[in-house]
Amino acid sequence: MTSPTPLVDQFQRRISYVRLSVTDRCDLRCTYCMPERMTFLPRREVLSLEELHKLALGFIARGVTRIRLTGGEPLVRRDMIELVRALGRTIGAEGPQGGLRELTLTTNGTRLAEFADDLFAAGMRRINVSLDTLDRETFAKLSRRDSLPQVLEGLRAAREAGLKVKLNTVALKGVNEHEIADLVGWAHGQGFDATLIEVMPLGEVEEDRIDHYLPLTGVRETLEQRWTLTPSEHRTGGPARYFDVAETGGRLGLITPLTQNFCEGCNRIRVTTTGQLYACLGGNERVDLREALRSDDPQARLAEALDTAMRIKPERHHFAITEPGAAPALSRHMSMTGG
């Protein structure tokens, strides 16, 4: 019996990284991410934890070495830690394509205090935490929830548990631009890496995203008036470009989907909580893995679906925020796609 072939797209990019959404639900309502009255998916449409596990094993068999669990907010899903434990057992495992090298998580941090020790015990060593402000009033306005104290408590718990933390901050004009430098400095002082992200035009929200679009080219110029930023050789295979900050001793990442395309080295695909594999965050190219998993021959159908995904993965995304009132680049919200 021949071994499954690695995932390689039509542009000869090897796909080794999967962002796997376990839920579209979230306990925050960040204004740039979703409307206050968000309609969530019926549970029957969401993959079971068993299906998510089978899917992950299928990816690992095709050479995927990194899986990031996302949402929505992944830690709000009941018994999600059991999936983490199951996937953690594949880290370093032997096999035709090897096992996982890394299992990570993106979270808003509200439930980290409860789960940080369990995540570390299950084999997770690194997490990303979304945090756009250290001001409690701004946090409450931006997320529509007064949850900053819980997030800060979760960050302390993660650090004490031994998890390496990277803070992800969406740069928002008129909202947090005045405190970005202080937030980065605080993160580095806590021993956390920091990454800044340009707002992405995904899904309809109440506000016009052009009002809050803050190009990171200008943010970088502002930061360089305060600190010495040196391009770093650090690479993750992801979209961030990294800089070492001499004065803080920390690392800063910039993710610039609008001002600088970063697709030439893309090594990832995203799977929604309903099992839709999106070959590109900024595109509609997709294949239905849920249908394959629930078919009479899931192994063969899944293999076919993954081969199709490699053929349809585009060369690049086409995000743009250019004029007031423009429709989002894609109608689906980030919480639907997997953050």
With contact defined as beta carbons under 8 Å apart, do 107 and 72 qualify?
Answer: no
Q: Where are the domains of the chain?
A: 17-337
Mark the binding-site residues for GTP, compressed into ranges.
Answer: 19, 68, 106, 166, 268-270
* 178 or 337, greater pLDDT: 178
In this prediction, residue 89 has a pLDDT band, given cuts at 50, 70 and 90, of: very high
- What integer pLDDT is reported at residue 203 of this predicted model? 46
> Is residue 155 predicted with pLDDT exceeding 80?
yes
Summarize the annotated binding site for S-adenosyl-L-methionine as residue ranges. Answer: 32, 72, 130, 200
- pLDDT, tens only, 117-150: 999 999 999 999 999 999 999 999 999 999 999 9
Q: What's the confidence (pLDDT) of residue 43?
A: 84
Question: How many C-beta neighbours within 10 Å does residue 36 have?
Answer: 9
80 vs 89: CA distance, rounded Å: 15
Binding residues for [4Fe-4S] cluster, as ranges, are: 26, 30, 33, 263, 266, 280
Supply the mean pLDDT for the chain. Answer: 87
How do residues 266-284 score in pLDDT, each as one tens digit?
Answer: 888 999 999 999 998 777 8
Q: Report how far residue 100's alpha carbon sits from residue 56's, in angstroms, rounded to the nearest whole number.
A: 10
The binding site comprises: 19, 26, 30, 32-33, 68, 72, 106, 130, 166, 200, 263, 266, 268-270, 280
Superfamily for domain range 17-337: Aldolase class I (3.20.20.70)
Alpha helix positions (H), the chain: 49-61, 80-88, 112-121, 136-143, 148-161, 180-189, 216-224, 289-293, 298-312, 334-337
Confidence of residue 317 (pLDDT cuts 50, 70, 90): low
